[in-house]
Structure 1
Amino acid sequence: MDAVEMKRWCNEYQLLSANAIVLSGVSDVTDDVLLAALGTVKAFGKSKIVDKRTDATTKSDFVLVTTSANVTGQTLPDDVGIPGEVGPWPVHVLPVLPKCEKFQAKLLTFLRSEGKSIADVKGLLDPTPLDVNSALVNAISSLVDKCNSSPADTQSYRKLRMFSGVIPTPSGEEEYDAWAEQTTHMLEEWQSGDNVKRQRILESLKGPAADIMRFLRAQNPNATSNDYMQALETAFGTTESSADLLVRFRHKFQSEGEKLSAYLLRLDKLLHCVLRKGGLHELLKEVREEEDMLQSRNDTKNAVMSKAVTSVTKTSPEIKPDHEME
């Protein structure tokens, strides 16, 4: 993936180049493990996975990641991974363009969106020498205004799905877990102020859920978007703690006759509940401890078998040829 494709990918999600990296060659790894590996690089700050695209040549994935830290000018590792476990995956950063090249790139992007070319701009300068200065100034002024306009709040955005909290879930709405998962992800990705995020949450609510927001705003006019989500989690989310959810996760087995795909969907839904309750790091810790215990058992078993074979070899009588036995 070249720099142009990376830049276009960032623009699709309204990401700043200074806060974006791309990993290549990623395969057979979960998002949680990816985030754990990214967390080992302090220069990235807090990382979030934005999107994945498959490389048709290698059949592995490119992963677009947004960082809370500005990676421009920083000394970054050539690759990221967890030594001895996963990776490493090469790290790609968008090159920093000189100011003149940045303006040229913005100018060309704008002209393409308007169905125009550089030749069309030059046409503005052709009529008469007297019109050159005014035409040039007007054209450049208009282009600069377009290029410098902030994309965060003016561009269209993907609206949140509707949620009311009514049971059973009405047609055209989402259950709470599905709505909360999508909303949490979108809030993290939107490059906009918290007031805009709050407004977009309110636009997606109706019925009992909207009533709860009205009560919250009346009690706390300065409530943030995180406060909104926490209030909805308290009202409609599971009342189980992360420890309770982990117990349920450990004892959730595939039912007799249940398709594997349906079983995996049940596990995924429960795992997202664990994530929202903050119990995912505890689950990862238990999994790694179990892996270490199994590895220790295998090492001990192999050592015992090797010792037994050596002992048998030393104590067995030497077999003599037939002519010596006579």
Structure 2
Amino acid sequence: MDIYEIIAWCKEKKVVLENAFVLSNVPLDITDTVIYRVLDTVKGTGKTKVHGRCSDKTGREQFVLVETSKRVSEISFPVFIGIPDEIGSWSTQVLSATSPSSGSSKGEEFNTKLMSFLKQEGTSLADIQNVASLTLTLNTELVSAINSLVQKCQTASPVEAQNYRKLSTFSGLTTPNGEEDYEVWAERTTHILEERQCSDNVTKQRLVECLRGPEADIVRFVKVENPSATCCDYLKALDTAFGPTENASDLMVKFRNTFQEKGEKLSVYNQAR
């Protein structure tokens, strides 16, 4: 664990940096009681307290953050601690007097955070300098690309965002309130949509905006069943559900004027009727 990770850890756990140190290579199943037994073997540490644990990259061992009642600069820490032939050994990591402290200036604090971030991202200050040398060129190319894109959008936008007549609302209810009959609404709507020179997605959006109640539900079902359905598919589904149907008189006239063709089998004739 590097110095910047230790600083961040101490800040998170609200541990005084000058009184903190880290134990490494500690097995995952070690209890705090065993850790305190090992810490008691180090002379002059005063009272100690375990503040946190963190697994290392292997996931088989862990780091342990410990705070002492004395400044670590006043304690002579061995490189490794443990109980011979029983526990350990664990390596100790103590911040030196020249390490960045929690009371550092804003510039030093920023530098600490920056170095920690760069380490996590697997990069360095040299990489940033290389990127910075290309900033002017990249900015020029970026501005040029954005300008070109804006011009294209401005050219295409009048077609998509042209003024249009708002479609009449239709709900498909039996007794619509101030709504047109389906045949009148469908004829008017189809005519308006055909006049528009815009994409099918925009056309579908305009159609959906004017639907209410059962009609809106039908279009929603079509969309769920077929996400790539076109505006024509929506209109066909609406026509199937709300389009005109033949009444009893029309069907009787059609029945009485249906005759068996010469040579036509009776089974075929019956099926046609």
TM-score scaled by structure 2? 0.37
Q: Which has the higher helix share?
A: 1
Choose 1 or 2 for highest CA Rg.
2
